[in-house]
Amino acid sequence: MKNLTEGNITEAVIEAIKGTKDPRAKEVMSSLIRHLHAFVKDVRLTQAEWEAAIEYLYDTGQITGPTRNEFVLTSDTLGISSLVDIINSNPDGGTEASVLGPFYIEGSKMVEIGANLIGDSEGEPTVVSGTVRTLGGDPIEGAIIDLWQTAANGLYENQDPDQPENNLRFRMRTNKDGYYQFTTIKPVSYKVPTDGPVGRMLDLQGRHAWRPSHLHYKVSADGHRNLITEVFDEGDEYIEEDSVFGVRQSLTVPYNLVTSEEEAEKYGVASPFHRVEFDFELETL
């Protein structure tokens, strides 16, 4: 029997997983084990600290369910989600990716181009439009724009029993010009949920939980790489200090205030309203 020590335990674990058949899984797990062991040695982790980490993971599992994923939020608030986005972004260009966040739901209702999502929602009317194109600039017809955003109270529909199902979320197909357009309310800056383990962590780190106003998008089209991203209000007070590190300069846009009655009539909204334009570029596979 080998006498395990601080000096040889890492290699013993690496040896134990040598039968991992998938070469990529072996590479990832070996590196993870090496880094975790190095971390434990580096900080001289105490028994109490190890227990606190296990408790954090336990609580994260307990609070996670179909409409809330505290693991995703942990990854987001530690900058890991964004780091994965950044290292996997296309070096040849295209729209930058940003965090999925914990509030996406698959299968939102399909709506037509020009849909008005406002319904009974309070907030500042906003008309959003743009195109989906290839990196070469060709319009992509039939791309699916999947959008979700907060209501004026800073909550997503699936966080808030007072909002109707599918409120402020939808899917839309682009037309032959790759065009999409919808009318909504301006999303507001909001705090990520702080009533779970992530809230305790942010407190410990002396950080706030705010995210700048943003629209979440999933954009997909046959033969193209799926894009998950966010489009931010460049004037938001938290634009420089997003608690989940999702902001990229290329994803910030102005919310231009339009006061013309004629323009308001054209889009069927009350004046004044905000006008936002954003074009997506997808990598061809």
Please report which helix (H) or strand (E) contains residue 215, including its range: strand 214-220
- Least distance between Fe ion and beta carbon 150 (Å): 7
Q: Residue 276 in contact with residue 231, Cβ under 8 Å?
A: yes
Q: Does 187 bind Fe ion (CB under 5 A)?
A: no
Which among 226, 230, 225, 227 is positioned nearest to 244, based on CA atoms?
Answer: 230
- Least distance between Fe ion and beta carbon 230 (Å): 7
- Least distance between Fe ion and beta carbon 70 (Å): 15
Cα-only R_g, the chain = 22
Q: Which stretch binds Fe ion (CB under 5 A): 32-40, 101-109, 117-125, 136-144?
A: 101-109
Instruction: Give the helix ranges, DSSP H, for 46-196.
Output: 47-63, 70-77, 80-87
- Least distance between Fe ion and beta carbon 186 (Å): 14
Q: Which stretch binds Fe ion (CB under 5 A): 38-46, 96-104, 170-178, 270-278?
A: 96-104
Rounded distance between C-alpha atoms, residue 149 and residue 212, angstroms: 12
Closer Cβ to Fe ion, 10 or 69, answer by number = 69
Closer Cβ to Fe ion, 101 or 125, answer by number = 101
Q: Does 101 bind Fe ion (CB under 5 A)?
A: yes
Minimal CB distance residue for Fe ion: 101
Closer Cβ to Fe ion, 101 or 130, answer by number = 101
Residues in the chain: 285
Q: Does 212 bind Fe ion (CB under 5 A)?
A: no
Closer Cβ to Fe ion, 230 or 281, answer by number = 230
Q: Residue 33 in contact with residue 41, Cβ under 8 Å?
A: no
- Least distance between Fe ion and beta carbon 264 (Å): 27
- Least distance between Fe ion and beta carbon 78 (Å): 17
Closer Cβ to Fe ion, 143 or 147, answer by number = 147
Number of residues that bind Fe ion (CB under 5 A): 1
Long-range pairs, 265-268, Cβ under 8 A, ≥24: 267/127, 267/183, 268/116, 268/183
Q: Which stretch binds Fe ion (CB under 5 A): 28-36, 88-96, 100-108, 235-243?
A: 100-108
Closer Cβ to Fe ion, 94 or 101, answer by number = 101
- Least distance between Fe ion and beta carbon 214 (Å): 6
Q: What six digits make up the tokens of 110?
A: 């399909």
Rounded distance between C-alpha atoms, residue 169 and residue 186, angstroms: 13
Cβ neighbours for 278, distance < 8 A, ≥ 6 positions apart: 128, 130, 231, 253
Query: What does the binding site for Fe ion look like in residue numbers (CB under 5 A)?
Result: 101
